[in-house]
Structure 1
């Protein structure tokens, strides 16, 4: 259920849209306007049923990356907006980058980043709405970097009392983490509950959790 919008996105309007289940997307990286989207089918990761794939758990135990939180939010967004061979265009335009960077400045949007030798190798970002984390996008410049960021995110959210990750659309790539499909009516019910609950994104360590703590926090393996 898309609706067009003018170029600039006010953060008040963005947060209001999230409370109703909408989120913005551009038709292309260079498109100046956005479309407000309310999917009929939602992709959601319930955090009480999250999974850690066994192969990825073994990789995580090698501590392959330094994990940082919010140290390069804009860089993460710009990387998510980059064209790749697999994704020649993206839905993240300048208006979206500006609006979410402002949300980050306000303490409402966060990034989880994977670093190696001082270089940003992968990460993700999203918006906190009560006890819901609205995931926006992720990227990898090295194998498994975005997946490791996802594991650290899930552990952090579990520790902080969050209910679920809103992945927006159902995506087969995220099923390995426990993603389920949910119709909009059911999503609105869990969103309403999450909006009235309290959660703390920083209840865990300020930056990197140990691999053991991550895996213990996400109790199920597959």
Structure 2
């Protein structure tokens, strides 16, 4: 593997992220003029219908219950930027305590999940998926609750879309993002998967 964990974490700490053009192409570092954030304050929102689903306790939450399955679920689409090489890099980062899968389960079936990297008090969301309707949405709400409980300062979604905007996602420019990122990664914070 030509990418090494310290160098990867350094790249993310500077606001870059790894992507491939497709499943078999080489990885490259990318950045963006606009960065999407999920708010960790009262700007975070979600529909009343989703609140009802959460209150019904249809899903249970696990962290790293099946990390590889979450990565595979995130990569399973017509065109994917999560190449085979990147899947292995995520697994290495997980084993080293940097990458996490935040999962919802319905019984013994993986319903959905969010893949991300935690550096200091910053959580960098890489991708999300679902097998069961509402699975990834419930994961998003519960992940925000978890990040709040662990005193995270930044939830970076990298790029926004209409789905994330329904949760209050917003974009900021690179200068402001860098300021927020550097403050967040300088703080000691643990994702703490054992509290779920």
Match of 1:137, SS state, is: strand
5+ residue gaps, structure 2: none
5+ residue gaps, structure 1: 1-6, 208-222
Contact 2:154 2:181 (C-alpha < 8 Å) held by counterparts: no
Contact 1:121 1:141 (C-alpha < 8 Å) held by counterparts: yes
1:27 aligns with 2:36: no
1:67 aligns with 2:57: no
1:136 aligns with 2:126: yes
What residue number does 2:195 align with? 206
Match of 2:47 among 50, 53, 59: 53
1:177 aligns with 2:170: no
Q: Deviations over 1:76-112 (max 9, x none)?
A: 00111112xxxx1110011111111111101111111
Contact 2:112 2:130 (C-alpha < 8 Å) held by counterparts: yes
Q: How many residues align?
A: 195
What residue number does 2:8 align with? 14
1:39 aligns with 2:32: yes
TM-score (norm 2): 0.94
Match of 2:12, SS state, is: helix
Distance 2:120 2:159 in 1: 20
What residue number does 2:178 align with? 188
TM-score (norm 1): 0.84
Distance 1:13 1:28 in 2: 22
Distance 2:122 2:21 in 1: 26
Q: Which runs of 4+ in 1 moved over 3 A?
A: none
Segment of structure 1 superposing worse, 107-116 or 131-140: 107-116
Match of 1:164 among 149, 154, 171: 154
User: Offset at 1:205?
Assistant: 6.3
Distance 1:112 1:98 in 2: 18
Distance 1:198 1:175 in 2: 29
1:82 aligns with 2:72: no
Distance 1:115 1:73 in 2: 13
CA RMSD of aligned residues (A): 1.4
